[in-house]
Structure 1
Amino acid sequence: MPLALAAFGRRALLVTGGRSFLVSPHWQRLQQGLDRQGIEWEQLGIAGEPGPEQVDRAVARFADASIEMVVGIGGGSALDAAKAIAALLPTGRSVLDHLEGVGPQLPYEGPALPFIAVPTTAGTGSEMTRNAVLTRPGSDGFKKSFRDERLLARLALVDPQLLHSCPPRVMLGNALDALTQLLESYVATRASAFTDALAESGLRAFAAGFRADPQRPVGDYSCLAYASMLSGICLAQAGLGSVHGMASPLGAWFPIPHGLACGTLLAEATRVNVQALRERNPESPALAKYARVAGWLGDDGCSDADALVTLLSEWTGRCNLPRLASFGMVEADIERVAAASGGSSMKTNPVVLTLDEIATVLHRRL
């Protein structure tokens, strides 16, 4: 990696996760490699999901540090923070100026510093997307994107060896996020032959690499790294669906990790989608796609949309995925969360869901 970074300059900001990478042997090897290449560096740790204030503080802190590149090393949180910091260091603006649905929503004019993505988990696909997701937690909080083509990574270094330091519970949540992104983009209204081919390849790789076991969720790290990378490409091109629509307010208002939010909702959201499609649009190609996914993910060769729902429900149980109530959500919150689930992800769901249908998913997982 240090040799590849040398092409971008001699002053790097390394944005890492909270701890896992820093206590792994990879961290010491990286420092030694940077020294050999004559690259000076600063390091910033991101613990938990990044917020706009955290990004703004980083921009102010390193404004005069002559940073020439920003390297994100970690999960989606570290990569998203690094993207936003790389975009704003040259301009000095607050990220709140550009967040979708927040503040003045000014157009981003750039330029951005080179952003290099080094994922150490397999789930978000952030190394392949053009948006940085930022969260302000709390009852009046939000989870919103800073989005622009110039936020794309100049270089993505996807090394399955880096995934071995990821704790099993984190790996499980990230894997379920990748699965959700692949499935939702495959059936999304903006799906194309291009994204369909990539999503199929990613879903088959996921099936080969995933174990529905919370203690050992990975059978093949290379397969999951590949599936995650493709999920990022697919979501950027085709969009997502109802699970991510609901996960946005849930992640802002309750302390639920994004991957686990996706995982715990996926089976019931798929069930409601299938039922709504059969009732209102039985000729939808999404129904045939759900059936094909069942054949790719299952080991019984059954290709049927109901079989997919059954398989996802079985995985939900075998993985001991938490219910929403375990994060403080109560019955009275359902209406508010359902009403706030109509963001950009919901717009590409294969069927327009009613508020009652969204509430049904939430209630079943409460």
Structure 2
Amino acid sequence: MPRMILNETSYFGAGCRSELVTEVKNRGFDKALIVTDAVLVKSGVVEKVTKLLDEAGLAYEIFDKVMPNPTIAVVKEGIETFKKAGADYLIAIGGGSPQDTSKAIGIVINNPEFDDIRSLEGVAPTKKPCVPIIALATTAGTAAEVTINYVITDTEKRRKFVCVDPHDIPIVAIIDSELMASMPTSLKAATGMDALTHAIEGYITLGAWELTDALHLKAIEIIAKSLRASCAGKPEGVEGMALGQYVAGMGFSNVGLGLVHGMAHPLGAFYDTPHGVANAILLPSLMAYNAEFTGEKYRDIAVAMGVKGVEAMALEEARKAAVDAVQQLSIDVKIPTKLTEVGARAEDIEALAEAAMADVCTGGNPRPAKLEDVKDLYRALM
């Protein structure tokens, strides 16, 4: 049965981080643990938030040990830091990694029986909502601030595992494009293609339905219009990407994804490949692989991507037009085209494919995937 789980409250627009103080006071919170990374602290992005807390006399401590592809060890350290700080809520400042780390911390604090972290994989039977999280996004891609998903890296086993839990969604999301404006161009490109992958996979996943279809098509349209401009440093592009990635998150969080994410997660675990880059390299090939199992949906994607004359095309031509439009966008924002460019090795294909087949996202793929298919897909992109 379809369902929709979203934040209690979300704010949008340049400067909307000012609403943080109102939310904290109205909810009666006492002390925050801010979960972020050292780069955002050093660059001054975190200060744009802490300044508001300081001016309002609100207490907080900062945990800035998060790194890309956050690990079990970092989550455990964050849990101990939260306890020692005497905090009663979390403020997540960052992209997917700080957001995911916050979710894992918040879940375990209120559900300590999962303190091994690995047992959170999949749909864990947690009983209590996580510690309240107020999420401030600094990248336009992951949409982690609006999803019920998070991803943790198990370095010991060289794998990433996906956790899906309605109890982990932040109660408040703040989508302030001013916090995203200082992203390096390469990060804007990678996170933007991550957002596009969310929208496209969410649109064709087996769980898709009318409401999420509407969200995903609109997200594709916004992203296709905004990503190039965002990478060029234009404020309207950054603002558009801030909205587009959130709209995609509203959809895919509630219906799942597919094989692109299933194959991207092992690349992050094996080589620390940025998630958006992995998705972007894989997306066109996986779209071609899935095409015959998507009905008319690629025609809709091509229209949303801005391709002209799609309505008059034969179905096969329209499908190719959708794939080509996605490929061209990826090229225009300078995403690598081969997995070897991000360190992937042919001798790892067997292990990568086995990990992809075990990934929770793979089950939503419209075309049933076989192990040999996945090997061939990796091999073709080496």
> Which residue is equivalent to 2:13?
none
1:311 to 2:325 alignment? yes
Query: Which residue type is aligned with residue 341 of structure 1?
Result: A
- Cα deviation 1:159-199 (Å, max 9, x = unaligned): 12211021111111100000001000101111000101111
1:135 alignment partner, SS class: strand
> Which residue is equivalent to 2:304?
296
> Which residue is equivalent to 1:6?
25
- Cα deviation 1:212-254 (Å, max 9, x = unaligned): 8966598612221111112212111121111001012111111
Measure how far apart 1:328 and its partner are: 2.8
Identify the match of residue 146 of structure 2 among 128, 144, 147.
Answer: 128
Query: Which residue type is aligned with residue 78 of structure 2?
Result: A
Identity rate of aligned residues, in percent?
A: 28
Query: CA 1:213/1:228 → structure 2, altered by over 3 Å: closer, same or farther?
Result: closer
Query: CA 1:18/1:32 → structure 2, altered by over 3 Å: closer, same or farther?
Result: closer
Q: Name which of structure 1's ranges 54-63 and 293-302 shifts more when overlaid on structure 2.
A: 293-302
Gaps of 5+ in 2: 1-19, 312-317
> Which residue is equivalent to 2:376?
360
Measure how far apart 1:87 and its partner are: 1.9
Task: Calculate the TM-score normalised by the size of structure 1.
Answer: 0.89
Measure how far apart 1:91 and its partner are: 4.5
Query: Which residue type is aligned with residue 298 of structure 2?
Result: Y
Report if the CA contact (8 A) 1:214-1:320 is conserved: no
- Cα deviation 1:41-99 (Å, max 9, x = unaligned): 00011122211111111112331322111010110001111111122234445252532
Identify the match of residue 279 of structure 2 among 252, 257, 262.
Answer: 262
In 1, Cα distance between the equivalents of 2:236 and 2:325?
18
> Which residue is equivalent to 2:349?
334
Query: Which residue type is aligned with residue 150 of structure 2?
Result: A
Measure how far apart 1:290 and its partner are: 1.0
> Which residue is equivalent to 1:88?
108
- Cα deviation 1:118-148 (Å, max 9, x = unaligned): 101010110111122111247x311113332
> Which residue is equivalent to 2:218?
201
2:356 alignment partner, SS class: coil
Measure how far apart 1:21 and its partner are: 5.4
Which structure is higher in helix share?
2
Query: Which residue type is aligned with residue 94 of structure 1?
Result: D
Query: CA 1:268/1:359 → structure 2, altered by over 3 Å: closer, same or farther?
Result: same
In 2, Cα distance between the equivalents of 1:252 and 1:194?
33
Report if the CA contact (8 A) 1:84-1:95 is conserved: no
Identify the match of residue 57 of structure 2 among 38, 54, 57.
Answer: 38
Per chain length, whose mean CA-contact separation is higher, i.e. which structure has more relative contact order (CA < 8 Å, sep 6+)? Answer: 2
In 1, Cα distance between the equivalents of 2:285 and 2:301?
16
Gaps of 5+ in 1: 278-283
1:117 alignment partner, SS class: strand
1:73 to 2:93 alignment? yes
Report if the CA contact (8 A) 1:290-1:308 is conserved: yes
1:164 alignment partner, SS class: coil
Report if the CA contact (8 A) 2:126-2:167 is conserved: no
In 2, Cα distance between the equivalents of 1:359 and 1:219?
40
1:341 alignment partner, SS class: helix
> Which residue is equivalent to 1:280?
none
Identify the match of residue 321 of structure 1 among 335, 352, 367.
Answer: 335
In 2, Cα distance between the equivalents of 1:59 and 1:143?
20
Report if the CA contact (8 A) 2:193-2:330 is conserved: no
Measure how far apart 1:320 and its partner are: 3.4
Identify the match of residue 142 of structure 1 among 145, 151, 159.
Answer: 159
2:83 alignment partner, SS class: coil
In 2, Cα distance between the equivalents of 1:158 and 1:17?
18
1:100 to 2:116 alignment? no
> Which residue is equivalent to 1:281?
none
2:241 alignment partner, SS class: helix
